[in-house]
A and B are shown apart, each in its own frame.
Chain A
């Protein structure tokens, strides 16, 4: 019996249209737009100014707080301006515009494809290199990686869990990365294990990717302590707490961090970035992005520089279809509908999904019939319809008492509701409100 998480869950159509498509390296665009907010936490602070000349890999922005991350230039060229740009969030935020000239990389970066397995760095040196490379969680959460690798005093990790489930429909970037960069990923996992001093790592992969499971299992035999665990397909298995439950049969307590269960979870793409940062001195300035959609002529997996406008990727995948309704940054369950295809690729961009007008239209909402299907699918064991009502009636106490802040915004409730009720829209709003109330109370 394959493992999976034990509360709730749904099975949306997988639609992995770009599965098996080789990673194609995209040409460097004429101009990149590098937002200073590419991670959770405080925006980075620009350390370059207009007219400065940079290479690919040059540090251009520094962290401005504890939860923040370095940002490096993804290209060589000249800083055009530092100005507001609309990013995937839909808001105008500060970004660095760089006009591209050639493609020169920092000399310290090892550009060769040669695999380097040996590592003589200490745990602290590894974490420092990861922080210096500006690595954040590449699954989409974009939490600065070095913080997760530095557990709070008194807690100790027992196991490293690598999130390779890729449970979002359509997305295939992690899948193809495992097939093409399997060894590099395993070296990255070994480095992560060393950085938190654990002897055991489990790579969780949903069993709709049998080729990746087989490939990594074969490779893992020459690495010590790495187990490949096939998991039963179920969304949202990529949720941190869900994955820990699936792999360890342990539920992280409400409000607690994964480390309380002895686990540190990292995305498989992050493990690859860690390999490149530590073994190749390469900062995080490019990533694999799936570009997909049913009407798109050529769904693809691209290796692209951060800051590349998304329309460039769409053109390479066959161009924006006639009937486009939505362009989504990320997958269909948790991705963000983009205001325009001009927004840049950022560290957290796992995919670009194009939906037709028909696919984009929501059906009219009907009365709640209390069928409890939202309750049954909620992976956090919440009552979504109750939380939606509490938000509508501004009953913040009721919302808090029913654990609204535990919502992981996976969207399973809205996906399932037979009455087409926008459950998550309301819950997200109520969650923000209740979190504000809790912060105010603590202050």
Chain B
């Protein structure tokens, strides 16, 4: 036959969507928060981000090449994203060697040990962060005070976050404006509510994520901490402070929505989000740790297969 035709089953066209397009979409959505952190935390934020991203990519490359021995996956953008999200969850004065350990835990334990992207049970960046939080509690909970593009790295002035202040019973907090803009102590990517919400809007418009997980987390946290505030205002702060402080927005918008480790149906997503909101509130209000977002997401990650089993998509013509 002179000109053989290609035979394959339908459909014969594809949307052109790809894994890397989605990953780079999330990276773009994280840019506003990155710029804010560079402004407030300066050189430290830059070093932590670069080290985290580069080491995550490098570890994935090495593990893929020498241990798994399969085609390289570093170009799909997922390792860059894990690196950036890990950096966003670290204080900007964290020493390089600790970041490297965190990156190895994130990529090595959190992702590649399960077989790489798509097979992991837990959000890799959070595996890295929690690994560091438990191993280096002191370094992981001293945050530099925000400045205007400060040029010091590990030797700058440090302070506490709103949540750790609250945990110790302090009453003087940053203003709402500072919380919205990000002018407060904290991990480098979590401070600016406005920048994170801007990223959220981008993700929604580009249909990379749906609203279900972030909104259910935020609402649940708001309602739960709000009830506690109404019951005892002296003990429990205004729920708005809970939404704007700590890793809640970063976690709700960028970490809990990780495709691989979150449920697939809309109803499952709501259950997942409500679970994270409840766990976060409980840990924050009654637990020993001031912040509970990372633990809440990891616990719900573990429950995701179960949620997928019981909360199926709405079946056409079903009951």
Contacts and interface: CB of A to CB of B under 8 A. Distances in A.
A148 B49 CA distance: 65
B8 interface: yes
Contact of A7 (B6, B7, B21, B314): B314
B316 interface: yes
Contacts of B263: 372
Interface string B282-314: 000000000000000000000000000000111
B183 interface: no
B118 interface: yes
A369 B22 CA distance: 11
Contacts of A363: 14, 18
B13 A381 contact: no
Top 4 A-B residue pairs of the complex, sorted by shortest distance between their CB atoms: A411-B11, A367-B118, A372-B264, A371-B259
Interface in B206-244: 210
Nearest to B3: A324
Contacts of A10: 15
Given A370-B259, A383-B265, A383-B312, A415 B13 contact: yes
A357 B115 CA distance: 34
B18 A418 contact: yes
Interface string B49-81: 000000000000000000000000000100000
Contacts of A402: 312
Interface stretch (A25-33, A246-254, A266-274): A246-254
B306 to A, nearest CB: 14
B10 A335 contact: yes
Given A12-B13, A369-B117, A406-B317, 19 more contacts: A90-B7, A241-B316, A245-B316, A255-B317, A326-B6, A333-B12, A337-B6, A355-B12, A360-B12, A367-B118, A369-B22, A369-B118, A370-B118, A370-B261, A372-B265, A381-B314, A381-B316, A414-B14, A418-B19
B264 A370 contact: yes
Contacts of A256: 317
A339 to B, nearest CB: 6
B260 interface: yes
Interface string B97-121: 0000000000000000001111100
B205 interface: no
B20 to A, nearest CB: 8
Nearest to A250: B317
Nearest to A367: B118
A87 B262 CA distance: 46
B318 interface: yes
Interface stretch (A44-52, A121-129, A217-225, A420-428): A420-428
A231 B14 CA distance: 24
Interface residues of A, number: 72
Contacts of A418: 17-19, 21-22
Contacts of A327: 5
B12 A381 contact: no
Contacts of B116: 367
User: DSSP majority for the B interface?
Assistant: loop
26 contacts: A7-B316, A90-B7, A245-B316, A256-B317, A325-B6, A326-B5, A330-B10, A332-B13, A334-B10, A337-B10, A355-B12, A359-B13, A360-B8, A369-B260, A372-B259, A372-B265, A376-B210, A379-B316, A381-B313, A381-B316, A383-B313, A406-B316, A411-B10, A414-B11, A416-B15, A425-B9
Contacts of A425: 9
A336 interface: yes
A13 B3 CA distance: 28
Nearest to A330: B10
Contacts of A403: 315, 318
A330 B76 CA distance: 34
Given A254-B316, A256-B317, A360-B6, A375 B19 contact: no
Contact of B317 (A253, A335, A368, A415): A253
Contacts of B17: 373, 416-418
A243 interface: no
Contacts of B265: 372, 375, 383
B32 to A, nearest CB: 23
Interface residues of B, number: 38
Interface string B250-265: 0000000001111111
A329 to B, nearest CB: 10
Contact of B9 (A355, A357, A415, A428): A428
B11 A333 contact: yes
Contacts of A419: 18-19, 118
A412 B18 CA distance: 15
A361 interface: yes
Nearest to A420: B14
Contacts of B118: 366-370, 419
A380 B316 contact: yes
A135 interface: no
A115 to B, nearest CB: 38
A255 B10 CA distance: 23
Contacts of A336: 10
Contacts of A360: 6, 8, 12
A382 interface: yes
A28 B259 CA distance: 56
A54 interface: no
A288 B298 CA distance: 58
Contacts of A352: none
A360 B5 CA distance: 10
B18 A333 contact: no
Nearest to B119: A367
A277 interface: no
